[in-house]
Amino acid sequence: MNRSRWERMQEVLQQALSLPAEDREAFLERECAEDEALRSEVRSMLDTPDPSFLEHPELEEAEIVERSPDLAPGTRVGDFELVRVLGRGGAGVVYLAQQRPLDRLVAVKILAQGLGPSDQRISRFAVEAIAAAKLRHANVVRVLSAGEADGCRYIAMEFIDGCDLDTALSATRRREADAPLPLFEQPVYVTRVVEIVRDVASALDYAHRNGILHRDVKPQNILLDRDGKPYVGDFGLAKDLLAETISVSGQILGTPYYMSPEQAQAKSVEVDRRSDVFSLGAVLYEALTLRRPFEGDSIHRVLASICSSEPTSVRKLNARVHRDLDTICVKALEKRRSLRFESAGQLARELQRFLDREPLTIRRTLPPVRLARKYLQYRMPMTSFLLVMLTFVGVEFTSQVSHARNTEASVLAVEKQAALAKDDEARRRVRSAAVGLKAPNLNADQLARIDALLAEIDSVAWHLAAEGDREYAGALTRRGDERDEYLDRARQLWWRASRLAPDDEDLRLGASRSLLPRVSFSSNEAGLVVSYRRVDRSTGDLLPEQDLGVTPLEPVEMPRGYYRLLARSSQGGMAEISLHVDQRAQEYSVLFQVRATQVTEGMALIGGSTCRVRDGARRERVVEVDPFWIDEAEVSIADYGEFLAETGYPPPAYWLRHSPSYFKGLLDPSAERDSEMVALWGEYPMSGVTLDEARAYAAWRGKRLPTAAEWLLAAGGPRSRGLPWKNDWHSLARWLADKLSWACGEDESFRRQHAVLRLGSTRIEKGARRHVLSAKSVRDPGYVQTAGRNGLRLFHVLGNVKEWTDTVYVSQRDGEVVPESGAFVVLGGGWDSPINLGAGPYTVDCLERKLAGAPNFSVGFRCAKSL
Amino acid sequence: MTQGQSAADPLVATLYRSLKRIAAGKLGPGSARKSLQVTDLVHEAYLRLDWGDGLEGELDQRRFLAAASKAMRSVLVDKARARSSLKRQQPGQRVALDDVLDRFSENAVDLLALEEALERLEDVDEPMARAVELRFFAGLATPEIAEVLGVPRRTLERRWAATRAWLYKQVR
């Protein structure tokens, strides 16, 4: 049957079915006069199908497979004499039992029997015992012993005489007179519930800090003793973070109503302490409202609801709940873990703050609508403000203002500066200066002018905030990479906005939603002036420098992106660090090590200039490059070995794994060093390092990696993209021949064995693949040698190894130029570079894309340094 | 069946019982008991859910239901296949989910025949194949199915009647 036949049949059948049974035959006669086959087919389908056909079956209670019978009272299991059943958990039945020699009451959990042996369940049982036995906390049910006796595996636990929170809540729902909790309507009810959840939160926090996740936080697992003190029990699904994981990835562990979105999506690899926070948030919500936050008439829907719907506000369901508690619930139940409380401990502390009637330290998540509305109220003439694009001299300006004696001069200075402010940072400074100026000695006119200025800056802030909201809302409907992209833009807009109007509460609250990663700084000396340059995501260019402050510095929130951080000492020392802030972590730490003396030995000074740069999106741009130092030669194996020996930095894993055994001793500080090997190979270029390893080396040297523009400028000069031979491949052939004899001139056997370079073929032959040219003994005729400019001599631009740069690789995707995640630009030629003489010039800007974490023996690096 | 699937069986049994307890007494009024009977099935289906890529947090309910019902179908059909081959070898042997399977089979006449017909239906009318999944395997009502599929309710009702009649003939 094909589609058109199907549609035709549908049509006839639909109409026939809509007719009374007796009219159908006549209709078919008429409709299918030409098509006897269709008529008989449709006719055969007109018999009324069984009404239950294709109805979803309703399944009854009776159909459930019965569990194994409970053990009778009086049964002996080891030391324990069972008294009665206390409850049933996922992995077994819990009995009240008398422990004979000690004559005390304990709770004994016995692994369910009768389901046939399952290694997995047994090992989970064992893990539970081991995990829980480590925990000693006033609010955790203590595990007394575990073992196997009389054919049963058991765990003996402290017996909590009371009931679980689920039972207590049910009693409250039914308004039972002797319910364990106060009456729902009484104000003390909320306090009581918060105390319970706070204690549970601190118990979970304790477990988490001991590497144990509960994974199944729910009211049934929170026991209340006669005094109402809560105990967290049944680490039945606890997974010891340190022990080998036993759960097969993708299994759903836990009770659906309290599952976190990441658990509901069966992403067990991603479950972490914040998943327990979510579940506890669901418990708090239920206790405060007597309703579960996520309901559904089937498990599908409960889970779908957990993943996709926002629970009704707690305050709507129970008006007695304070706004702060609502805030806490919302934060605990955030779908994205990064927005939740970062730990159960934080949740416990906020709950305690609530009990102490102190203001919370977390911020309320605002709906985007509210902010958009506020923005509309603020709509003011900002175009003029945005259009002014002139140079800014911020630091001088601030001092200018503070020193001005004449207030009118100050006001004028601020206004002038506002007109000149071309970027956010400048505006921020204008704003703080203007706020600082609002002193009593200003006259009404001056005050009005200052207010107008502030309003203008604030309106820019609100404009940014509204844009951020739009991005944020847009991001929610997107997926994966694309969403990150949008969220990131939203974050940056929020960040900029909150910096423009730092004392605006609503902006601050709104920005808190984006929860930027925090970067903390440490340094080998105090008093360093720290600044940063952001890397433009679409070009990889460095944006203008912005101040951060003087060490010791408080941690700074920074939006995702690539940065170059700079620290300068008053003695002229400087440290530069490349930092990639992304979503993989919330905290970053940066260590500045400023060296007293400038190390510029073996470096060439390149004057500032413009440079033509081509990127992965095949755009050619002219980039302004500030003057810089760059290593004349690539970093050698001996250099890198020195770094490892001095710092204890781990040797490159890739190197150790993939290089020949006789090489490993060169770098592994723990291995005995063969001086002959070092002499022979130490001067060859270091390769097989990740970008981070290269950066670590550079930082140790007080240097950094060059940007692509810097590298190209140093290698090719401002005007020429190529080497001196330009398009003349005969010259290239001569040069290659020279290179070969340089490389092997003194070692004829080596040349015969390995370095057979066949002109006209494309690569240096097998066997010479590692390092044909030594780093220091052979010098490429860099353009400078012939051009002679600056007296600059850069070695191995084309030879040896290709080189890492600290420039993000951007490429074109769906018409948009975007940075590729984790990919960086590699430049120059290396031993494995295909040199296709027929295809035209071999130039230095043969840009390649390499992933920062994927080292290669054909990629090495050299360092650079700002002035 | 995949390896992960077989490893999950005891877990499913465990969860089944704990969920049964919820179904038996712990749900408040107004909750639908009947759906919780199929927890076992639901959990197996879960293990097969195709979540697509890069999901964290937000999830489209419509996509979720569509994926879930598809997974249900795949579990039940696999179980039915396993049962039919087991029955040939060891008559009288019960398999996991047998009771649930019985109930589904009653309403489908023959699950394996239905699967075969559904595969043919997918070729000519993908949306209606989805509709069968949503209705029969996931138990959604017509208005919800219309919403998931994004088709007008009346259209769906008419096409459903015809499709059902066609399928009935295929499996009988």
d(CA A98, CA A81): 5
A822: left (phi over 0), alpha (psi -120 to 50) or beta: left
DSSP state, A268? G
Secondary structure (DSSP) of B33-93: HHHHTTHHHHHHHHHH----SS--S---HHHHHHHHHHHHHHHHHHHHHHHHHHHHHSTT-
Distance of residue A152 Cα from the nearest chain B Cα, in angstroms:
17
Q: Does A2 touch chain B (CB under 8 A)?
A: yes
Asked if A65 lies within 8 A of B16 by C-beta distance, the reply is: yes
Asked if A480 lies within 8 A of B58 by C-beta distance, the reply is: no
DSSP state, A760? T
Average pLDDT over residues B113-119: 90
Searching chain B, which residue's CA lies closest to the CA of residue A92? B14
The model's confidence at residue B85, banded by pLDDT at 50, 70 and 90, is confident
Searching chain A, which residue's CA lies closest to the CA of residue B21? A88
For A500, the enclosing helix (H) or strand (E) is helix A480-500
- Chain B residues touching A298 at Cβ < 8 A: 32, 35-36, 38, 42, 139
**Chain B, 71-90: which have a CB under 8 Å from a chain A CB?**
none
| Structure-token pair, residue A535 | 């890397």
Closest CA to A53 of B145, B41, B163: B163
Asked if B125 lies within 8 A of A56 by C-beta distance, the reply is: no
- Chain B residues touching A300 at Cβ < 8 A: 42, 64-65, 68, 138
| Structure-token pair, residue A843 | 């130039």
- Main-chain phi, psi angles of B129, to 5 degrees: -65, -40
CB atoms within 10 A of CB B135: 21
Which of B3, B17, B128, B151 to probe the A interface (max A CBs under 10 A)? B17
Q: Does A478 touch chain B (CB under 8 A)?
A: no
Q: Are A82 and A99 in contact (CB under 8 A)?
A: no
Average pLDDT over residues B20-44: 39
Q: Are A253 and A263 in contact (CB under 8 A)?
A: yes
Asked if A45 lies within 8 A of B120 by C-beta distance, the reply is: no
Query: Burial, A228: exposed, middle or buried (Cβ in 10 Å; 0-12, 13-18, 19+)?
Result: middle
Q: Does A46 touch chain B (CB under 8 A)?
A: yes
**Chain A, 4-23: which have a CB under 8 Å from a chain B CB?**
5-6, 9-10, 13-14, 17-18
d(CA A92, CA A602): 71
For A430, the enclosing helix (H) or strand (E) is helix A424-437
Q: SS3 string of A305-361?
A: HHHHCCCCCHHHHCCCCCHHHHHHHHHHCCCCHHHCCCCHHHHHHHHHHHHCCCCCC
Q: Are B140 and B118 in contact (CB under 8 A)?
A: no
Asked if B8 lies within 8 A of A480 by C-beta distance, the reply is: no
Asked if A63 lies within 8 A of B169 by C-beta distance, the reply is: no
A495: left (phi over 0), alpha (psi -120 to 50) or beta: alpha
Pairing of strands A574-581, A104-111: unpaired
Secondary structure (DSSP) of A627-678: -EEEESSPPBHHHHHHHHHHH-PPPPHHHHHHS-HHHHHHH-TTSPP-HHHH
Q: Closest to A300 (Cβ–Cβ): which among B57, B68, B165?
A: B68
d(CA A474, CA A722): 44
d(CA A82, CA A146): 15
Q: Closest to B8 (Cβ–Cβ): which among A13, A248, A336?
A: A248
Asked if B56 lies within 8 A of A88 by C-beta distance, the reply is: no
Average pLDDT over residues B11-15: 35
Q: Closest to B124 (Cβ–Cβ): which among A1, A262, A309?
A: A1
Searching chain A, which residue's CA lies closest to the CA of residue B71? A300
Rg (CA), chain A: 36
- Chain A residues touching B18 at Cβ < 8 A: 88-90, 255
Asked if A304 lies within 8 A of B35 by C-beta distance, the reply is: no
Asked if B43 lies within 8 A of A53 by C-beta distance, the reply is: no
d(CA A316, CA A323): 11
Distance of residue A89 Cα from the nearest chain B Cα, in angstroms:
7
What b/e sequence results for A425-444 when a residue is b if at least 16 CB atoms lie within 10 Å of its CB, and e otherwise? bbbbbbbebbeebeeeebee
Pairing of strands A587-592, A518-523: parallel
Query: Would you state the pLDDT for residue A246?
Result: 29
d(CA B57, CA A337): 8
Q: Does B154 touch chain A (CB under 8 A)?
A: no
d(CA A38, CA A219): 61
Distance of residue B30 Cα from the nearest chain A Cα, in angstroms:
9
Q: Does A239 touch chain B (CB under 8 A)?
A: no
Q: Are A105 and A159 in contact (CB under 8 A)?
A: yes
CB atoms within 10 A of CB B73: 24
Q: Where are the beta strands (DSSP E) in A426-538?
A: 518-523, 529-535
Helix, strand, coil fractions of chain B, as percent rounded to 5: 75, 0, 25
Query: Burial, B152: exposed, middle or buried (Cβ in 10 Å; 0-12, 13-18, 19+)?
Result: exposed
Q: Does A87 touch chain B (CB under 8 A)?
A: no
Query: Would you state the pLDDT for residue B64?
Result: 60
Q: Closest to A251 (Cβ–Cβ): which among B8, B24, B137?
A: B8
Angle formed by the axes of helices A273-289 and A187-209, nearest 10°: 170
d(CA A303, CA B63): 13
A759, β-bridge pairs: A761
Q: Are A565 and A590 in contact (CB under 8 A)?
A: yes
H-state helical runs in A19-99 = 21-31, 36-44
Asked if B20 lies within 8 A of A261 by C-beta distance, the reply is: no
| Cα first-last separation, chain A | 76
Q: Does B46 touch chain A (CB under 8 A)?
A: yes
Which of A300, A305, A337 to probe the B interface (max B CBs under 10 A)? A300
Using DSSP, how many helices (H) and how many strands (E) does chain B show? 9, 0
Asked if A17 lies within 8 A of B47 by C-beta distance, the reply is: no
Distance of residue A537 Cα from the nearest chain B Cα, in angstroms:
22
- Chain A residues touching B68 at Cβ < 8 A: 300, 304
Which of A125, A175, A292, A299 to probe the B interface (max B CBs under 10 A)? A299
- Chain A residues touching B99 at Cβ < 8 A: 59, 63-65
For A163, the enclosing helix (H) or strand (E) is strand A162-164
DSSP state, A50? P
Searching chain A, which residue's CA lies closest to the CA of residue B169? A45
| Cα first-last separation, chain B | 28
d(CA A141, CA A157): 7
Closest CA to A830 of A713, A687, A715: A687
SS3 A841: coil
Searching chain A, which residue's CA lies closest to the CA of residue B51? A265
The number of angstroms, rounded, from the C-alpha of A413 to the middle of its chain's C-alpha atoms is: 43
d(CA B172, CA B165): 11
DSSP state, B137? I
- Chain A residues touching B140 at Cβ < 8 A: 56
Which tops the pLDDT comparison, A781 or B65?
A: B65
Q: Are A668 and A656 in contact (CB under 8 A)?
A: yes
Cβ neighbours of residue A498 closer than 8 Å, sequence gap 6 or more: A461, A465, A504, A507, A508, A510, A511
Average per-residue pLDDT for chain B? 65
Which of B33, B56, B120, B136 to probe the A interface (max A CBs under 10 A)? B56
Check if the interface score ipTM surpasses 0.85: no
Identify the residue whose tokens are 């050619």.
A620
Identify the residue whose tokens are 């005891």.
B10
Q: Are A112 and A143 in contact (CB under 8 A)?
A: no
Asked if B10 lies within 8 A of A6 by C-beta distance, the reply is: no
Query: Would you state the pLDDT for residue A349?
Result: 93
Q: Are A817 and A825 in contact (CB under 8 A)?
A: no
Tens-place pLDDT, residues A264-283: 765 555 678 898 999 999 99
d(CA A269, CA A277): 17
The number of angstroms, rounded, from the C-alpha of A283 to the middle of its chain's C-alpha atoms is: 28
Closest CA to B157 of B126, B120, B128: B128
Q: Are A841 and A726 in contact (CB under 8 A)?
A: yes
Q: Does A61 touch chain B (CB under 8 A)?
A: yes
pLDDT, averaged in runs of 10, over chain A (867 residues): 85 84 83 83 79 69 41 81 76 80 83 47 58 81 79 82 89 84 86 94 91 83 90 64 30 61 65 89 94 75 74 85 87 83 92 85 52 33 24 30 51 68 71 69 74 76 74 65 70 78 68 69 84 79 81 78 85 82 75 74 78 74 83 83 87 79 71 70 80 89 87 68 41 50 43 32 28 33 30 59 85 74 78 44 55 81 88
Q: Does A309 touch chain B (CB under 8 A)?
A: yes
Searching chain A, which residue's CA lies closest to the CA of residue B48? A250
| Structure-token pair, residue B22 | 């919820």
Query: Would you state the pLDDT for residue A202?
Result: 94
Which tops the pLDDT comparison, A421 or B78?
A: B78
Is the alpha carbon torsion for B103, B104, B108, B114 positive or negative?
negative
A to B CB pairs, distance under 8 Å: 204
Work out the angle at residue A642's Cα, subtended by the Cα atoms of residues A640 and A645, and round it to the nearest 5 degrees: 110
d(CA A393, CA A631): 33
Q: Does B27 touch chain A (CB under 8 A)?
A: no
Asked if B35 lies within 8 A of A299 by C-beta distance, the reply is: yes
Query: Would you state the pLDDT for residue A831?
Result: 61
Which of A298, A310, A336 to probe the B interface (max B CBs under 10 A)? A298
Q: Are A497 and A461 in contact (CB under 8 A)?
A: yes
